[in-house]
Amino acid sequence: MKLTKETLQKIDDVIPRYPDKRSAVLMVIHLIQDELGSISDETCEWIAEKLDLQPINVKELITFYPMLRETPWGKTHIRVCRTLPCALRGSYATCQKLEKKLGVKEGHVREDGEYSIEFMECLADCGEGPVVMVGEETFENIDEKQAEKLADQMLKGKLEKSADFVSYEKGLLSDSPSKAKKSSSKTKK
Amino acid sequence: MTAKNSPKERRIILKHADDPNYSNRLGCYLREGGYEMLKKALKMKPEEIGAEVLKSGVRGRGGAGFPAGMKWKFLDRKSGKPIYLICNADESEPGTFKDRQIMYKDPHQLIEGMMIAAYAIQAKLAFIYIRAEFFEGARILERAIAEAKEKGFCGEKILGSDYSCDLVVHRGAGAYICGEETGLIESLEGKRPNPRIKPPFFPAVLGLYQCPTIVNNVETLCNVKHIIEMGGDEFAKIGKPNNTGTRIWCVSGQVKKPGYYEFECGALTLGEMIFDVCGGLLPGRSLKAVIPGGSSAKILRADERFVGKHKDGTDFDWGIEDVPLDFDGPMAAGSMSGSGGIIVMDDTVDIVEAMANINAFYAHESCGQCTPCREGCLWMKKITTRMCDGDAREEDPDMLLSIANQIEGRTICAFGEAAAWPTQSFIAKFRDEFVQKAKHSKRSKNSLQLI
């Protein structure tokens, strides 16, 4: 297992924040998973040694928490909210549309490793459902129609700069177009 | 619901949240008088702050609605062990998205509330346990804490006083059970988040590392700042007795304008919320049911009457639109206000599909520690999913009810109840639809797929 200097430094920074080393385990796992995409048995052993634990103490977390991975997701990972409030706004159709457009079933990684889709539980943005996360960014009100457009932008590599899709996170920066767009779409509804 | 002025929001916690000129940076917070209340609090005695919070009557905003001041009073201060403060920012109850707004848009308000609370309970260290799906939220909080530390609002010798307390952001990893306070504590200790048995020992006595620990919700901790600003007595005048302060209601589902709305407790009814504030239902639809407090809360049927007696002896006879939005209103109607997540369903919803959707959630999220919950949730999911797949049987409603009844009260934590209540209430109130499912297995064509 190879980690960059930056990640190793971050790991060393995060451990002393806690009164007990073991508490740092989730944060250490996150840091490594961010870089490697998943946590192998070898990595479990490395983390265990780092934190004076047994490998099973790490492994049992990887197999418990939904967001910890034994194998990596695709290069672009898409999370679609499945839970009731989003489902009531059509998230099943959203997920099916994305599956079709991107050529991969939810819970799986496309053969070329480009895309993966996860139909997951509540993303805590229920007022703007269906909610879709692309990587670490949250896109709101992605119904079936919008999902088609979102997938097109992704496939063309244009989502990053898209004016039609401004994520919740980017919308927080004041004066961004999404704030204006949001208020107008609210009144339109 | 006609010709009446729409009730007005009163934004205290979300005062600045959607102001286009407001940002989540420290400079902006300071311009609006930020951290003045921390200065004021540090001049008070810790127990005076506790007394104000107790007087305010503020109830926990995470779901259980337990008075925060009372929780603080249970703290074991005699053990000599370090005391910890944890902010529960796991926000995982389906239908709830209020804490997100606070953390992303006004993180310093939370930090100030937390540092006041930490000083009041004399915490040695404070944590924010944030759900892992809030990637940017965790970064915003980290940055805000760094900004606050630089100015001496947290960390060593806060604002030149003798009090020091560091603040650590800890990310979860996508498990609903980490919203349960002892599950959260186990998770923070680096273990699987299996909740602990309680009573006899609550976290206030034996919490993180077996030390006295207070776990409060994001919104609750923000309220602490405003209690110091107004004083407990003034704060208690907002809302209604036993239901003080404002609440952020999160409305989702089939209304025209879903969203988060902050009102004084009891300032409006469920009907006013749905039909006035949220602009009513989608065109041509009628109301079928509402889940008033996150998916664990018992469902309310649009045409049922809620009859009973208030604590003061007066009678009430409500339709669904009359249920007051506070802590006690939904409780009197046989449900709960929970985390404030109001999920609205109209007449196009297939109630068995909605049930299957909720059951799939609980089956996925059960931690697996207690057999009735681990097995029961899975069976409830399997049965309701099979019913929606066109293989419903006449005996299914009774079978489901029997499973739910065998989960409730037989688990270590309240997840068991949270998973059983939806099934119990859906079947009690919509039994006809469950029975009908056995005769007409297909979903009607204008009804959404929910499972």
Residues A56 and A81 in one domain: no
Query: Is A91 in contact with A85 (CB distance < 8 Å)?
Result: no
Do A167 and A80 sit in the same domain of this protein?
yes
Residue B345 to residue A88, Cβ atoms within 8 A = yes
pLDDT at B3: 42
Output the domain CATH number for residue A41.
1.10.10
Q: Would the CB atoms of B100 and A124 count as touching at under 8 Å?
A: yes
Domain of residue A25 covers 5-62
What is the helix (H) or strand (E) element at residue B306, kind and residue range? Answer: strand B306-309
Cβ-contact B169, B154 below 8 angstroms: no
Q: CA-CA distance, B113 to B34, in Å (whole number)? A: 11
Indicate the residue of A19, A121, A128 with minimum beta-carbon distance to B125.
Answer: A19
Same structural domain, A161 and A107: yes
> A120 to each of A95, B84, B430, how far by Cα in Å?
10, 32, 27
Over range B16-25, report the average pLDDT: 91
Using pLDDT thresholds of 50, 70 and 90, give the confidence band for residue B199.
Answer: confident
| Distance from chain centroid for Cα A79 | 6
Record: contact B361-A122, CB cut-off 8 A: yes
Q: Quick one: A91 and A141 in the same domain?
A: yes
Residues A148 and A114 in one domain: yes
Calculate Rg over the CA atoms of chain B: 22
Q: CA nearest B351: which of B420, B301, B417, B280?
A: B301
- B202 pLDDT above the threshold of 70: yes
Contacts of A23 in chain B (CB under 8 A): 170, 188-190
Closest CA to B407 of B437, B432, B381, B433: B381
Distance CA(B249)–CA(B253), nearest Å, equals 13
| 3-class SS letters over B49-85 | HHHHHHHHCCECCCCCCCEHHHHHHCCCCCCCCCCEE
Mark whether A159 and A109 lie in a shared domain: yes
Do A168 and A80 lie in a common domain?
yes
Query: Using a CB-CB distance cutoff of 8 angstroms, which residues of chain A are in contact with residue B135?
Result: 136
A115, A76 contact by CB (below 8 A): yes
Give the residue from chain B lying closest to A53, CA to CA.
B190
Within a domain: A93: yes
Tokens of A86: 């989003």
Rounded to an integer, what distance in angstroms lies between the CA atom of residue A66 and that of residue B365? 9
B340 and B96 in contact (C-beta within 8 Å)?
yes
In a domain, A186, yes or no: no
Question: Is A158 found in the same domain as A88?
Answer: yes
Contacts of B295 in chain A (CB under 8 A): 83-84
pLDDT tens-place string over residues A111-157:
999 999 999 999 999 999 999 999 999 999 999 999 999 999 999 99
Chain A: closest CA distance from residue B260 (Å): 7
* pLDDT above 70: percentage of residues in chain B: 99
Contact A88 B254 (CB under 8 A): yes
Name the residue type at position A98.
L
Nearest to B220 by CA among B17, B65, B418, B47: B65
Indicate if the pLDDT at residue B421 is higher than 50: yes
Residues A81 and A161 in one domain: yes
Mean pLDDT of B164-191: 97
Domain architecture of chain B: domains with CATH: 26-237 (3.40.50.11540), 241-346 (3.10.20.600), 351-439 (1.20.1440.230)
pLDDT value at position B4? 56
In a domain, residue A183? The reply is: no
From the list A19, A61, A124, the residue facing B192 with the nearest CB is: A61
Residue B200: predicted pLDDT: 87
* CA angle B337–B308–B435, rounded 5-degree value: 75
Contacts of B23 in chain A (CB under 8 A): 173-174
Residue A187 lies in a domain: no
Nearest to A93 by CA among A103, A81, A104: A81
Distance CA A178, CA A56 (A): 46
Query: Closest residue of A to B367, CA-based?
Result: A64
The CATH number for A117's domain is 3.40.30.10
Count how many pairs of residues, chain A against chain B, have C-beta atoms within 8 Å: 172
Say if the Cβ atoms of B250 and A64 lie within 8 Å. no
CA nearest A181: which of B422, A52, A167?
Answer: A167
Can you list the residues of chain A whose pLDDT is less than 70? Answer: 174-189
User: Does residue A119 share a domain with residue A35?
Assistant: no
Task: State how far the Cα of B278 lies from the Cα of B6, in Å rounded to an integer.
Answer: 10
Report d(CA A112, CA A34) in Å as an integer: 20
- Structurally, how many domains does chain A consist of? 2
B134–A26: do the CB atoms touch at under 8 Å? no
Q: Shortest Cα distance from A7 to chain B (angstroms)?
A: 16
**Rounded Cα gap, residues B109 and B63, in angstroms:** 21
**CA-CA distances (angstroms) from residue B139 to A182, B24, B131, B132, B421?**
24, 12, 12, 11, 36
Same-domain status, A155 and A80: yes
* Cβ neighbours of residue B365 closer than 8 Å, sequence gap 6 or more: A121, B175, B176, B177, B415
Q: Are A126 and B258 in contact (CB under 8 A)?
A: yes
User: Are B169 and B110 contacting, i.e. CB atoms less than 8 angstroms apart?
Assistant: no
Query: Cβ–Cβ contacts within 10 Å for residue B54, how many?
Result: 18
Reference B291, options A83, A123, A93, A82; nearest CA is A83
Q: What is the predicted pLDDT for the residue at B5?
A: 66
Nearest to A77 by CA among A149, A136, A147: A136
Cα B198 to Cα B182, B233, B338, B339, B411, distances in angstroms: 9, 33, 20, 21, 11
CB contact under 8 A, B189 and A22: yes
DSSP-derived 3-state class of residue B440 = coil
Contact state of B104 with A65 under an 8 Å Cβ cutoff: no
**Ramachandran region, residue B128 (left: φ > 0; alpha: ψ -120 to 50; beta: rest):** beta
Task: Match 């609205």 to its residue by tokens.
Answer: B344
CB-CB under 8 Å, A19 with B82:
yes
Mean per-residue pLDDT of chain A: 92
HSE, CB side, 13 Å, CA atoms: give it for residue B284: 2
Contacts of B257 in chain A (CB under 8 A): 186, 189
Amino acid type, B32: E
DSSP summary character for residue B126: E
Q: E strand or H helix at B124, and its extent?
A: none
Place of tokens 């469920």: B270
Q: How many CA atoms lie within 13 A of B163 on its CB side?
A: 25
Of A19, A66, A136, the CB nearest to B175: A66
Rounded to whole angstroms, the Cα distance separating B23 from B31 reads 11
Mutate to test the interface with B, among A122, A168, A173 (most CBs of B within 10 A): A122
Judged against a pLDDT cut of 70, whether residue B312 lies above it is answered with yes
Contact criterion met (CB < 8 Å) for A136 and B135:
yes
pLDDT of residue A186: 42
pLDDT on residue A99: 98
CA distance B404 to B420: 5
Predicted local distance difference test score (pLDDT) of residue A1: 84
Min distance A1 CA to chain B CA atoms (Å): 22
CA of residue B341 relative to chain centroid, distance: 7
Asked if the structure places residue A178 within a domain, the reply is no
CB-based contacts of B58, cutoff 8 Å, min separation 6? B67, B68, B69, B220, B223, B224, B227, B235, B244, B245
Give tens-digit pLDDT for B112-147.
Answer: 999 999 999 999 999 999 999 999 999 999 999 999
Q: Can you give chain A as a three-state secondary structure string? A: CCCCHHHHHHHHHHHHHCCCHHHHHHHHHHHHHHHHCCCCHHHHHHHHHHCCCCHHHHHHHHCCCCCCCCCCCCCEEEEEECCHHHHCCCHHHHHHHHHHHHCCCECEECCCCCEEEEEECCCCCHHHCCCEEECCEEECCCCHHHHHHHHHHHHCCCHHHCCCCCCHHHHCCCCCHHHHHHHHHHHHC
Cβ-defined contact of A87 to B171 (cutoff 8 Å): no
Q: Stretch B357-377: mean pLDDT, rounded?
A: 98
CA distances from B151 to B37, B38, B146 (A): 15, 13, 9
Distance from CA of A89 to the nearest CA of B (A): 6
B163, burial (CB in 10 Å: exposed 0-12, middle 13-18, buried 19+): middle
Which chain B residue has the Cα nearest residue A173? B23
**Contact (CB<8Å) A83/B94:** yes
Indicate whether A108 and A165 sit together in one domain: yes
